Structure formats: structure tokens, C-alpha cells
Chain A
Amino acid sequence: MSASSAFNEEKMGSSSVGEAEYAYDPVSGKIFSSDYNRHDDLKEMLDSNKDSLKLEAMKRIVAMIARGKNASDLFPAVVKNVACKNIEVKKLVYVYLVRYAEEQQDLALLSISTFQRGLKDPNQLIRASALRVLSSIRVTIIVPIMMLAIKEAASDMSPYVRKTAAHAIPKLYSLDPEQKDQLIEVIEKLLADKTTLVAGSVVMAFEEVCPERIDLIHKNYRKLCNLLIDVEEWGQVVIINMLTRYARTQFLNPNLNESLLEDGGSGDKTFYGSDEDEDDDEKENKEKAEAAALAKRKPYVMDPDHRLLLRNTKPLLQSRNAAVVMAVAQLYFHLAPKAEVGVIAKALVRLLRSHSEVQFVVLQNVATMTIRRRGMFEPYLKSFYIRSTDPTLIKILKLEVLTNLANETNISTILREFQTYIKSMDKDFVAATIQAIGRCATNIGEVRDTCLNGLVQLLSNRDELVVAESVVVIKKLLQMQPEKHSDIIKHMAKLTDNIQVPMARASILWLIGEYCEHVPKIAPDVLRKMAKSFTYEEDIVKLQILNLAAKLYLTNSKQTKLLTQYVLNLAKYDQNYDIRDRARFIRQLIVPTEKSGALSKYAKKLFLALKPAPVLESPFKDRDHFQLGSLSHLLNAKAGGYQELPDWPEAAPDPSVRNVEVPEWTKCSSREKRKEKKVEKPFYSDSEGESGPTESADSETNSASASDSASDSEQSRSSSESEESDEGSESEEEKENKNKKKVVKKAVKESESEQSSEEENRKLEKKIKQQEKDSETVSDDEESDSESSQSTSEDSESEAEVKKKAPVSRTPPKPVKKEKKEMSLLDLDDFEPATSPQVTPISTLLSNSLVTDLEGLSLSDSVLAPSTITPSGTLKSYELLHRITGEGLSVEYCFGRQPFSPDANMVAVQLQFTNNSTSETKNLHMKDVKLQSGMRVKEFPEIELLPAGDTASAVMGIDFCDSTQAANLQLCTSTRKFFVSIQPPVGELMRPVFLTENEFKREQGQLMGMNELTEKLILDAKYRNEHAIVQRVTTAAHLSRVPCGSDNECSPSVPPPDHPAHRFAGRTVTSGSLVLVTVATGEEGVAQLTVNCEKMVIGTMLVKDILLALTQ
């Protein structure tokens, strides 16, 4: 804050570690105590009530973190403010928390509940940031919470929250790789998301968690291709890289035929490389074989999906983001037919205008590309000319590219350019230029002599480095045609007097030794000089002196015998053992003694064998086995996490895997396929529970909120197939499948019994049938691929329906079209006050209730798990308010299962308050906040005084609207407010009803098809007796048992008495829908659980819960 404190901070920074211990030490110096005081002062500010003080404190703490100072001892003081109202304080606390949570795991846990609450906030930004921070806290204990939060967020209405969920996946994965399987499920789900916002992030998650699961991409491939241009730029990079890999596994090599046809030139050198030493016959055979292979191969036709990818990525070459351009360039390089690759050159050259770091990376990649496809960059040769202001790194890379581009036609301009480079002040660059000239000379025969002459001129350069580099290069060049250039060798022999660079001296000596026959007079003289200076030379030079001596001894022993002896003797006592070894070896080989072995005969052959000329290769050769643009390519080494670019497949895999179902009720031809689909993905499977909420979001967007964009609804629609298949099945199976029709009928019948308005409903049923036919024709006409039109057609239908029905009854639209909606529609009477004859408000209201119905779903599977495993007989109580968050006040709740007398549609919740603090709590009461629409709460009577250490209990009623959505409430004391939420297990949302077995069966008969859920299970040995089953089921759900056996006689189909069926019945509390549960036991603990409930969501969840209760 003040200058002095800032100064303090600066000064104390270094001693901040361990200051706490020192601070308590009375003997410790003043510095430490003042340091401690400083933190004290921050703590005080954090504890104050003023946001501005807190903010100031947090700012100073963040500044400490930014400078890398340790601020971990403030953790408790900071974490308290995690729920601060001021959003900036909150954000800074988040920053702090994420930084230090790993070190202070226990304390970090205190903040978790805040984020859990934040996850349910109506503001999407807060939901997203809560998830972001929660998932960034690297504390292993909260993995299950994170998992749950991610799953929930993956079905959030807001694409922004879903994006955050995608980001959270890799975080959780790195924290606990065990979660991989579950995370893959979430990834799979998010991959189906149709918003551009999510696409990039989820592909990133895919790449980090399960890049090998290429099968997950099939269904989304076309969508990703089409969305690509609208995805944000960073996502584009990730998606393009992933699609490159994908395409390599799924499509055929577009250049296969060409690479066979084309001549060695650039592409397949290796193929023809061996030709030279082959017999003509063989060659002919080979050619024949090739021709045959060609003939056999069908003319290449590019897969339309392959083409789609190329077409949709091309515009991105125009992106302002260099990473995107590079990604597209590498995609084209690896995937496109040769003729089309050229388009990337222009874009890559454009990137050379960018920052030098960008240039560096781009040039590396261009260098690799120029080796494979030189022609592509030739028109841009001048763009690679070097400026004196370029950094050396860039200069050397440009030189590399220029060298790769050199050919017979442009070599003269390139060499002229090189000449100016040699005059540069940058010596490293000059050395690289000389190397480059050498490479040009070896590659292009025509200019070899010119280059050699130029290099020889450089030998008289004043700079020793230049001379040395030239010598090394000349040596390599001379090896190609030594006989022509004895004068150059002579010239170089003279250089030994002046040149000091060891590498150059060694090269000269090697040359003279190798070609001593061309310079017979000079060579012995050079050896003489070298013998004189032998002891002062560097090791590599000494080795070459030995070589020279040996070679001369073999060719001209008369003159050099003594010299050689002398040199060998010197080497014998050298300090370097390599040199001693070499000397010993040479002596044995060349000096004939009695003991010398058979080898000495061959000494001449050994030393003076013809040596192949070295090939000067680009360091970028063969680098393209790494995916271009990748870090591994840049480093020419595999980086961690690098995914190999797979080779093209021999035969194309089945392209139909990428076929996505056309939206339902479109093409009749696709029906068969769709049927199969349905089998694959059972509507009632467990995963259904997860797609449910998305759907709810969807229906809300469709009907209730116009604010959300169309893309949103599109997305959620696709992510949950349930609705589509729902609708589709009915309209289509109307014709084909009698069964389904029955379902419809029954559903309607069911509603008849419920509402006892039979007449009306019969009429309605007829109407509906007609309606369906109508709608079928309508939608058949309107076949289209876009989801938006789907909704329009729906709308138009509903309009039509409304028109038709308006005079008949007040029944709202689309009664059969959407099974789920229908259910709640028919329940309308239970919504007492809200029900109104108008059509539109009802639909919004309904969808809201649907939302609440469905949104709870994702929570259920794990939240409820403990409740169902309750020890028998006792009521499970849940924590409403922990005593730490409640500052001494703790509240627990349980579902008492007695009817709530003030309102029969409410669930009674028993609350148990315990005051653990030392002071009394006053005026405990409740305020309802943020209730889902339709939900109602009957507060408990205010508790005026709760003395310290005392407990009190109260009963309140909540109408959950038959959903497991939590009721968010505010618990107030005289001084504080706490946000709490009560979440009902699905089993508590019903009350028992008494039915006889016959009644039960009749009702069950009407709740078949979509309303029936069946699950097979194996009972635990302990629970096979009747009592245990009944007890477990009734614990899991508030149901009553249907007395059995009373009508054994009348129904012949009753199972034998030792395998009885247990039946339970109940009605949901709010809407009074029937819930029927049957557990039929069989041999060896095999049992079948059947749940019939017109509320399919409740049914699905109930099945899960009872299943859990019975199997665990």
C-alpha cells in the first residue's frame, strides 16, 4: 500500500521461506520479526470487513506470487475469502488457491464447497470459473468431486461451461490417470457437441487423454471439418493436427501412383537408387512388375471425406495466426496430392515477414519441404535472400533453403548471392556459406569447377576461419576428381605453414597423403615439416601425420623410411593413448619384421584403398518422418507425447464409419440403419442418464428461451439422440411396427385412468393419429439436413395442432410427438395454480418442469449412491451445513417418509440443528432462494433460540416437482446467512400406494414399452431371501409392497413359489404418477428388476438406485 510496505516487501523477499518458525524465535533478528509482522498486517487486512482492504491485501499477495516469492503461510487467511462477494477479490483468491493448493491440501479442501455451490450458480461465468478453479486444484482427494462436476458441466446449457468442462478433462487426467475410461466417455459426449466454442477444447482433451482412440472421431469427422473455419484459432491448430493423423489412417495415399511413375528426381530416390548396379534383365523384370502393379491398381479416386478436409482447410491458409497457417501447410504436405501442395508455399513465404521466432520455425519446416518438393518454393527463391540484419540463426536456415533450391538453372544467381555473403561480418554465417557452396558443387556437376576455384580463392582470405572452412570443403570436393587438381593440392600443401586451425591442417595432411602420387615431390617435404612440429600439434593433426607417414612409407619408402620411423617413435610416447595405439598398429602393419602377420602384405591395400567421395547431405534430409510443424520435427528428436504420423493404409478402411445418421424422419432409405443404431445404443441404457440433462437444456432453449442461439439447440439436440429417436420412432413405426403403436395407445390409456377424462382423450387419441400422419407428410416434405429446420417443422406442426385442437379441448400441443412432454402435459392437473387454459404459457412451464425433472439426473448416480447402501432400518441423514462452514452450526437432514400434512404434494424433510459453537444461535429460519420453477417450499417454523451445544429439529416440506434437482435455500440466523441445498434421492420422491396384485398387473400392462425398464441382476448371496429384498427395495425407495400370492390361483403364469416375484407400488409425490417395481427372482440369485413408470426419468433413476441397493 504505502511506499514503506512495498519497500519492506522488496527487502524481505529473500528470507520469506521459513519465516514462520523464525518469527516465534525470540532470539531471531529484527528482520525476521518485521517480516512476520508484515504478513500479520496482510492477514489483518484479509480479515477485515472492507472489501477494499481485502483487495489491496490480495493484490500485494499476488504481486509476491508473480515475483516468485513464497506466500504459502498466508493460506488460511486467504482461503477464508474464497466466498467473498467482491469478484476481483474472489478471482485473486482463486489465483492464490490454484498456486498453493497442492502444498496445503487439507486447508484447500475448505474451499471446495464454495466451488460446488458455484457450479450451480445461474450465471454461466461463475459456473465456468468455479469449475475451472475446482479442476485446477491439484488435490487427489477431490478427484471424485471433479469427475462429477465435469460430467455435470459437460451437459450444461451454456457452451462456455461445456468448453470449460473440456478444459478440465486433461487436468483431471493428469491428476489421476485412473479416471481415463470415465473421461473418455465425457470426451465422446463432448465430441458430439456442435458448437464451435467446444470443438477446439474437446479435441485438445482428446489429444491429451486418448489420442489412440481414433474411432471416436469417425462420427464427428465431417462435423469437425465443416465447423473448422468458425472455431477459434487455437482450436483450429489442434483440430487440424489431429485430423492430419486421422486422415493418414483412413484414406489412401493420393500420390501412390505418381510416386511409382515419376523418375527418381525428388520423390523416391531410394527406389531407384539401387538401379545402377542391377542387371538389365532384372531391371526389365522390375519394370514389368511395376507395370503390372500399376495396371492392377485401380485409378485412384479420392475419398470425398479426404477432399472435404482439404477443401475446408484451404481458406485457413489466409489466417492471421501463423500457427494455423503452419498447421494447414503441414496438412497439405502430408495429405494432399502432389499437384495441390503448391498452394501452401505462398502462405509460408508470407510468414517470413513475421517475427524472427516465427521465421525460425517456418524456415525449419520449409527446409524439410524443399528436400521433398523443391519445385514448390522455386518461384519464391528471392524471398529467402539473406539480409545483413537477420539473426544468425535465420541466416543459416535461409542458406539451407537456398542450397536445397539450387539447380542447374538458378545456380548462377545463387552463387552470386553466396559471394556477397562470404563478405559478411558474421563469421559463423560465412563458414556456413562455404559449406553451402560445397554442397551446391557436389550436387550440381556443372558448377563444380567454378565453385572449387572460388573456394581456392578463399584460401587466401585474411580470416583464418574462412580459410579453414574452405580447406575442409575443398578436401571433400577434391575427392571426387583428384587427378585433375594436383595444382590445388600443391597450393594447399603450402598453406600448412600458415594455417593453424587443426581441422584444416588435418584435412590438408589427409589430402596429401591420399593423393601423394599426384604430388610426389612435395609430400615427403610436408612430412618432414610435420615431423618437426609433431609434438605441438593437436591430436587430430597428429593422427593425420601418422597416416601421411604410413602412406608415404608404402609408396615411397626410400625417401621416407627414416622420417616415418621418427614419427612413429614420437607417437609411441605420446600422451594420448589413441595416438599410441595408432602408432603401434601402423608399425606392425607396415614395417616388415619376422613376427609380422599375414596382414602386412595387404598394408597397401588397406591404406590406399579407393575411398568413396563423401556425400554432402542436408541436415534436413529425412526429417519429414516427423509430422511437420511439430516440436519433434524442430528438434529432430522425439518429444514426449509426440504422436507418430502413421503410414498410409494399404487399403482404405470402411468409409461408412463416418456416416452420421441423418436427422430422423428424413430419408426412408436410412431407416434400416437407424434401427441398427438404436440397438447399439439402447435408449434405456445407463448412459441415458447423462444425455438426459442435455436434452432438457435443449427443450428449454427451444421453447422457453429465445435468447440462446440456434447453434446451441442444435448441439444439444445432437448430443442426446433420445429425443430424436423418440420422435422418429413414433412417426415411422406407426406404419411399420405395431408394438410401438400399442405403446402410444397405452400411454394415452394410462393418462385416461389418471385423469378420468376418457371421452376427451379418446377423441384426442384419434386426433393424434391423424396428426401423426399429417406430421409425417409434413416432415417428409421438409427433409433437410439442418437441425434448425427440424425445429421449424416441429413448430409448424405444433401450430397446426393447436389450430385443430383449439375447438376440441384445452389439451396442449404435441401430445404424442414428444413422449416425455406428453407425460407432464397430462399431469397438468396436478400443477394446480399454474395450470391455465392458454397454450403457450403451459409449454414454457412444462418444459421448465421437464428441466427440473431431468437436470437432477447427472447428479443422481454418484450422489445417491451412499444413500442406497444405508444400513437397513435407519434413515440416512445428509449433511446440509457442515459445522466449519456453518461456524459452529451444523444441520443435517433426512427424509422422514411421513406425509407432510400441510400439503400432500410436498416431501417432508426433517432437519436436525446442532449448535456446536460456544454462543447461542438466534432466529433460525429459512428463506427460499433460487428455487427451480415449479418447486415450492414450506418453511419450518422459526427456531428462536438454539443454545450452545443444544440440538433442535424441525420439519419442512418441499415440492420437488418430481425431480431430483436440488432445492437451493438460504438458512439464516440472526447474524449470518448460509446457502444450502437439499437434494432428494429419487426414492424419496414417491409415496406408497396400496394395490392388489391384479390391479398391479393391470396397471403394469398399461405401462409397457417406453415406460418399462428392465434390468437383469445377480443378487448377493446374503440377500436372496424375500425379507432382504423387500427391505432393500423399500429402503431405496418409498414404496409399499403389493401383497402377493393372494391370486396365485387365478393367474397361471405366476412363477413357482420358490422363485417369487416381489412387487412394490407407489406414486410420485407431486404428479401422482404410478411407480411400479417388480423384482422377479430366479435360479442362483439371478433376478430381473422391472420398473414401470410413466415418468421415464424417474424410472431410469429408480432402476439404478434399486439395482445398487440389491447388488451391494
Chain B
Amino acid sequence: MIHSLFLINASGDIFLEKHWKSVVSRSVCDYFFEAQERATEPENVPPVIPTPHHYLISVLRHRIYFVAVIQSEVPPLFVIEFLHRVVDTFQDYFGVCTEAAIKDNVVVVYELLEEMLDNGFPLATESNILKELIKPPTILRTMVNTITGSTNVGEQLPTGQLSVVPWRRTGVKYTNNEAYFDVVEEIDAIIDKSGSTITAEIQGVIDACVKLTGMPDLTLSFMNPRLLDDVSFHPCVRFKRWEAERILSFIPPDGNFRLLSYHVSSQNLVAIPVYVKHNITFREGSSQGRFDLTLGPKQTMGKAVESVLVSSQLPRGVLNANLNPSQGAYTFDPVTKLLTWDVGKINPQKLPNLKGTMNLQAGASKPDENPTINIQFKIQQMAISGLKVNRLDMYGEKYKPFKGIKYMTKAGKFQVRT
């Protein structure tokens, strides 16, 4: 299946290679570089590139291309999903997945890749199993290891590999038993010029951080499970139970994991928490354009809209922007023509506003396209769909865990067309 893996940084250097079968010369990446040159943007490099003898399947994460070389038929998603899993694992191990982090931990990276694939077929991708096989590097452990000569590599087969719950290791012990669940919802929306919603949907996830001793069996029930239209589960969730009773019943993995991602049915009207008043115009014949943008809260159920960030790709003809924000700070990159405005919190009494002029190239005709405005925001303590967790129960263990649930709403791909 997967023959080799090359990691390529933004400047086109291959800084790591790993082969699971015979060695494939790194010159195979030349085809990738060709495709990269043809693509205008980094993300426009086709994920699958056929070459005379191999196929290159790549993903781009954290400005690093992970290029897998394959030789014969294999479902492309299989490879792509695996590569993303590799990135997730690196992130999990090193905190960040950057070129520097990978280079610093190259031995751990190699050991991980060795465990994750055997002959190009995934062997162990579950982070709990991997962590038993190869302990994540910490400063303390590195120091201890250099002094004592002990190793990061486990000697026993991880218990999870053989059990029916491969995602959880046995013998977990905590002094403070706690289980936290974050319900995070993202609003994807396209708002048209006049302010009406073209499409809006809510995608939610429940991320959990469970630190419980032993083998707890948890059930989580919702007040309004009917809201959830389409769900995908962590493998630990018992599907039958959900089908029958709409209850999440599971033996959780140890630590952080994504329990559930869901989609709120499109029949429900989605509340749009912010509105934008905009006036972006270019006049024929003049080398100036006007820019006026006001943000305001709407349908927020009294919660504050925070961490608001507005970004917009201005037309190529714009040379410079001379704007004046009523709050926060703005930047304009004259090379990429990207305007970003870090608004912060929206104060309903004094709406944030960004106003000023844009300078166009002299003599150029008026750009006929209008920029779209992307907005990011956060609303704490609210799930915009109204989803509510009813209760969380634990079976199988005697102690009383500390339980916590947090709600948050965020903007996903929230776009306003102008």
C-alpha cells in the first residue's frame, strides 16, 4: 500500500523520508514539485499526482506537505486519512507539528512511523496504543533517560491491542477522577449582499477529556437528541444503543479524544449571531475606493460575541488601504491583498466600525469583483443549536468522578458576500 513517505517544507526541501518497502528515490518528488509550480496557491496542489511508475498522494498541514508514494491501486482516501492521522499523532506527541519539532524528535518520529505502518498497511494508529509502545518525549523523561540509559520504548505488547477496547489501556490510575466534555458548535454560513442567508448549517463536535481510573463505562444523554441529524462516532460509542435509545454509551479512551461529531438538521433555522453592514465601492475613473464596515450582534441570547476577527481578500488592483477602526487593530498585506481586522469583543452599545479609503493602481480600471468578508467569532456558554446534555452517568467503577460540561459556539466557514 503506502510505499514511502516524504515530508516537504514550504521552501521545497525534503527534510524527512521513510520507506516501508524498497527504497524509492527521492527524485520521485520532482513530479510533485512540478505540480506545485503549476499550482498558484499551496493548497491547489492536486492531492493525487500520477507519475510514470508511482502515484503521489499528499496532504498539506501546518505548511508541511506529507507526500506518500504508492505503487498500485489503493483507495486514495485511505492514504489521505492515514496521513492526517500521522499529523494528528505528531501533534499529540510534540504539541505542535512543525518542521522544527519533527527534526528535533526525528528518532521518535521514525519509531512512530515504524509502528504505524507495517509493509505500508496501518498497524497501530490508536494514540493510546502508540503511547504505550513509545512514550511521548517530555523534558523530564529525556533527562532521566540520558542519565539512566532507560528508553522510551515499551517492552510489552500494549494491552489495548488485544482487548475488545483497543482504544483504552488497562491499569489507568488517577487521584482526581474527572471527565470534561466540550460541546463546540460551528456555524457555516453564506450571507449574500443584502444580508439574507443563502445557506447556514451547524456542525458540532463533542470533545472529551476523560481522566478516570480503571474501566469506567459512561453514558451521556441529551435533552433534545432529535436535533442531531447526522452523527459520526469515536469507535468506542456503542452504535446499537444510540440507534435504539439515542444515548451515548461508551468506555472512554484515556485522555483527550473526539467523542462525537454531528450535524444539526438543516430543517432547523439557524440563528445567525452577527450581522455585517458593509459598503465597499470603487468608482470608475478614480483611483480611490470607499470601505465602510460595521459589525453588530444579532440573535445571541444575551451572550457576548468575542474574539471577532474579520478578514477579506481585496481585489488585486488595490494598492493600499487607509482605514480607521473604532476598536481593535487592522492590517493590510499589500502583497497578498489580505485585510484582517482583529475586532475583539462586540459591544452592542458601540458597534465596531472600520472605515476609510482604498488606493487603487493609478490608471487601472475599476475592479469588477467585490471581495467576500470572512468572519470568525466565539460565543461562550452557548450551543447555538440549543443542544443540551441531560446527564452523564458512570458505571463499572465505584468512585465519584468530577464531571464538567462546557458549551461554545464558533464561526466555521462564515462568509459574507458583498
- Which residues of A are in contact with B by a Cβ distance under 8 Å? 50-52, 55, 59, 62-63, 65-68, 86-89, 91-92, 94-95, 99, 102, 123-125, 128, 132, 135-136, 138, 158-160, 164, 167-168, 170-171, 174, 197, 201, 204, 229-230, 232-234, 237, 241, 315, 318-323, 325-327, 346-347, 349-350, 353, 355-358, 360-362, 382-383, 385, 387-389, 391-393, 417, 420, 423-425, 461-463, 629-632, 634-635, 637, 639-643, 709, 711
Contact = CB atoms under 8 A, between A and B. Distances in A.
Contacts of B266: 382
A232 B41 CA distance: 36
B146 to A, nearest CB: 7
A99 to B, nearest CB: 7
A382 B198 contact: yes
B279 interface: no
Contact of B415 (A102, A321, A388, A391): A388
Interface string B111-155: 100100011011101100000000000000000001001011111
Contacts of A52: 146, 149
Interface stretch (B214-222, B233-241, B321-329, B383-391): B233-241
Contacts of B1: 204
Contacts of A325: 232
A350 B76 CA distance: 18
Given A197-B161, A347-B230, A353-B203, 20 more contacts: A52-B146, A62-B110, A63-B107, A66-B109, A88-B152, A95-B111, A123-B155, A159-B162, A160-B161, A204-B1, A319-B235, A322-B81, A323-B82, A355-B61, A357-B59, A358-B77, A387-B190, A388-B313, A391-B41, A635-B50
A59 B146 CA distance: 12
A234 B235 CA distance: 12
B118 A132 contact: yes
Interface stretch (B18-26, B297-305, B341-349, B352-360): B18-26
Contact of B22 (A89, A102, A320): A102
A201 B121 contact: yes
Among A168, A201, A355, A356, chain B packs the most CB atoms within 10 A around the CB of A355
Nearest to B237: A318
Is the contact region of chain B dominated by helix, strand, or loop, or is it mixed?
Answer: mixed
B413 A389 contact: yes
Interface of B: 1, 14-19, 21-23, 26, 40-41, 43-44, 46-48, 50, 55, 58-61, 70-78, 80-82, 84, 106-107, 109-111, 114, 118-119, 121-123, 125-126, 146, 149, 151-157, 161-164, 166, 188, 190, 192, 198-199, 201, 203, 229-235, 239, 243, 258, 261, 263, 266, 313, 315-316, 365, 368-372, 374, 413, 415, 417
B316 A350 contact: no
Nearest to B17: A68
Contacts of B369: 423-425
Contact of A123 (B72, B156, B315): B156
Given A86-B151, A425-B313, A425-B316, A318 B232 contact: yes
B77 A197 contact: no
A230 B164 contact: yes
B18 A66 contact: yes
Given A387-B190, A423-B370, A709-B164, A639 B109 contact: no
A233 B121 CA distance: 12
Contacts of B263: 346, 350
A362 B77 contact: yes
Contact of B239 (A318, A387, A641): A318
Contact of B44 (A62, A170, A229, A392): A392
B166 A318 contact: no
Nearest to B61: A355
B48 A631 contact: yes
Contacts of A361: 47-48, 76-77, 80
A357 B239 contact: no
Given A128-B157, A346-B230, A392-B41, A640 B198 contact: no
Contact of A170 (B80, B107, B119): B119
A631 B155 contact: no
Contact of B78 (A138, A323, A385, A424): A323
Given A86-B151, A462-B368, A355 B84 contact: yes
A786 to B, nearest CB: 15
Contacts of B122: 232, 234
A640 B199 CA distance: 42
B239 A323 contact: no
B73 A641 contact: yes
B232 A234 contact: no
A123 B243 CA distance: 41
B44 A630 contact: no
Nearest to A642: B73
Contact of B157 (A124, A132, A234): A124
A631 B23 CA distance: 22
A526 B275 CA distance: 53
A389 B18 contact: no
A393 B42 CA distance: 11
B46 A91 contact: no
A310 to B, nearest CB: 16
21 contacts: A67-B17, A68-B17, A88-B151, A91-B111, A99-B23, A123-B155, A197-B162, A234-B122, A241-B75, A315-B239, A318-B231, A350-B230, A357-B84, A358-B80, A385-B198, A388-B313, A392-B40, A417-B198, A631-B48, A640-B72, A709-B162
A63 B106 contact: yes
B149 A51 contact: yes
Nearest to A638: B73
Among A94, A233, A709, chain B packs the most CB atoms within 10 A around the CB of A233
Contacts of B111: 91-92, 95
Among A89, A353, A461, chain B packs the most CB atoms within 10 A around the CB of A353
Contact of A92 (B61, B107, B233): B107
Contacts of B47: 356-357, 360-361
